[in-house]
Each structure stands twice: as C-alpha cells, then as structure tokens.
Amino acid sequence: MLKTHRLLASNLATLSRQPIRAIAIQQRCLSTNQKSTQEQPAPEKYGKFRSPPTSLGVNEPPVVDHNNWLQRKKQKLRDFVDYEKAFAAHAAERRYLVEEATKSYFADVHEMRQHGGKMYFASSQLVKPEKAGYMPNFEAQDLSRQKINTTEKLVGKTTLMTFVYAKFGEPHVNTFIKPFLEKYRDQKDIQVVEVNVQENMLKQLLLKAFIPSIRKNLPAERKENYCLILKDISRTRKCLDMTNQYVGYAFLVDENCKIRWTAHGEATAEEVGNMLAMTDYLHEKKLLSDNKNQ
C-alpha cells in the first residue's frame, strides 16, 4: 500500500509539472512572434498603382439635343416602344443599381486612404484616334447661368478638359491647368474647359449661391469656359473612369471630341511635360489637316 501511494504521488507530481512547462513554452513562442512582427517593414504609403486606362469615352459621336421638354418626352415614349433599346436600358439600370447598393457610403474615402489621390501614372503616349472614344455631351450652365452644351465648346479645338466633384479635387486640376495656360494662353485653337460637377441636391443649392464668389475669384482667362453641372452624372462618368469624387481629373480632347489622353490627381513633372508635348502634336496635326482641306 505504501508503494502504491508513493507511485500515485510521483505520477501526480509529474502531471502537475507538465502544464507549467507548456505554459512557459507558449509564452516564449508568443514573445518570439511579436518580435518578428515588429521587424517587418512598414507598408508603402500609396500601395500599388494600376495601369492607366487604354481608352475612355463613348463609341458614338456626341449629339447636342436642342429639343424642348415636350419633344424629349415624345422621344422617350418612342424609345420605350423600341424593345431592344428598352431592354438594353433596363439591363444597364439594373447593373447600376446593384453596384450602388453594394457600394459603401464611405468607399471613396477609404480608397483615398489607400492611394492618396493617385491611382495610376498617366500614359506617356496618346491614344490612337481609331481606338479613342468620344467625350460625352453634358448639358451645363456657365457663370452667367446660361445653358450650354460642352460638345459645342470642344468641336474644332484642342482642349484640356478638367472635372472636379469636391473641393479636395480643385488643387489636383490646378496643377494641370496652370502650366497649360502659361504656354497656350494666346492660342485661339487651344483652350481649357473646366467642369464643376455637383450631384448632391443640397450641394447644388450651395453651389448656386456661391456662383458670384466663383466669378469674382476666378482669373479672367478661365471665366468663359467654366461650366457647372448640377445633376447626377454617375451613370456617364463611369465610362470616363471617374470613379472617386474626391479626385480631380484631366482629359486631352482633340478637335473631333475624341479623348486622346487622361490624367488625375496631382500632376507630376513628367505628366505635365507629356501633356504639353502631346498638345503641341495635336495642334500641329490639326493645322496640317486644315491646310489640306483648304
């Protein structure tokens, strides 16, 4: 009996020591893992850039609609009877609604934290005219509250067209506009068209109230081609790759309303140099074609 009690006591002692040894080993492993985690390099500030889009815009040339309200309603009724057009419109609307329903309200803010306003570097080459898409027509108003169509401003001229959706994007487009105007201020066939878009109903009212202030603070050479779009264009701007409303966007548009180059965010020195060189090339091509037609 004494031997049996001694054996049980020794077994209990060995069992009681095992968890203590396991806990000590586990603590050493945790401390080793924490040390290795601290030694890992910090992630890059903007993450990985994606490639610039190869072509943007719509396939068909833009058409300026001068019809009145009644004529537009009649056209909608005719399109409703055309089943192919109606089915394609309904399919596109369903895709849009699904994307909007699954998108977070703060998606643009989270995206800005990842890339800091620069999703890709602009291409160093122009898009070929046969592969380039057209800039859609936008119904807007100028600083005098007169209704205008952007296509009428683009036809026959080489244009740097910029889009701003929020105050945060204004410094972005200014990095493209300022060097562009410094070089081409006196050129009649080269211009800048600025578009300020407000899709939110409340912000539209605020922007209308601040039009006199914008007219007062804007330089004289930029007032004529400053446009305001006070409606939702989210269905159209996706074909222009304008996915984030806090980023400013810039497009080089030729005399045929085709988008030949695009950039966004704050301009780099290389992007500014490429933009000016491409503008010179497009202007020379336009002058040659004008001389041939004469």
18 vs 236, more confident:
236
Chain CA centroid to CA 250, Å = 9
Q: In terms of residue numbers, what domain contains 181?
A: 122-293
Residue 10 is predicted with a pLDDT of 55
Is 1 inside a domain boundary?
no
Is 165 inside a domain boundary?
yes
- pLDDT band at residue 35 under the 50/70/90 scheme: very low
Is 160 inside a domain boundary?
yes
Backbone angles phi, psi at 243, to 5 degrees: -90, -25
Three-state SS for 161? strand
Residue 31 is predicted with a pLDDT of 34
Distance in angstroms (rounded) separating the CA atoms of residues 159 and 265:
18
CATH number reported for the structural domain that contains residue 146 in this entry: 3.40.30.10
Mean pLDDT taken over the chain: 79
CB atoms within 10 A of CB 288: 10
For the ranges 9-13, 44-48, 169-173, which has the lowest average pLDDT? 44-48
Residue 203 is predicted with a pLDDT of 86
- pLDDT band at residue 85 under the 50/70/90 scheme: low
Is 51 inside a domain boundary?
no
- pLDDT band at residue 48 under the 50/70/90 scheme: low
Structure tokens at 179: 């060097």
Distance in angstroms (rounded) separating the CA atoms of residues 248 and 167:
9
Is 65 inside a domain boundary?
no
pLDDT tens track for 218-229? 998 999 999 999
Bridge partners, 149 (sequence order):
139
Percentage of the chain lying above the pLDDT 70 cut: 66
Is 114 inside a domain boundary?
no
For the ranges 69-78, 169-178, 186-195, 239-248, which has the lowest average pLDDT? 69-78
- pLDDT band at residue 236 under the 50/70/90 scheme: confident
Residue 17 half-sphere exposure, CB side, CA atoms within 13 Å?
6
Is 85 inside a domain boundary?
no
Chain CA centroid to CA 253, Å = 17
Is 154 inside a domain boundary?
yes
- Find tokens 């095992």 and name the residue: 18
Q: Average pLDDT of 210-216?
A: 90
- pLDDT band at residue 202 under the 50/70/90 scheme: confident
pLDDT tens track for 96-142? 566 655 666 566 666 667 667 788 899 999 999 999 999 999 999 99
Whether 14 has a pLDDT exceeding 60, the answer reads: no
Distance in angstroms (rounded) separating the CA atoms of residues 224 and 220:
8
Q: Please work out, in degrees rounded to the nearest 5, the angle formed at the alpha carbon of residue 101 by the alpha carbons of 97 and 105.
A: 125
Query: Considering its fold, how many domains does the chain have in total?
Result: 1
pLDDT tens track for 250-292? 999 999 999 999 999 999 999 999 999 999 999 999 988 888 8
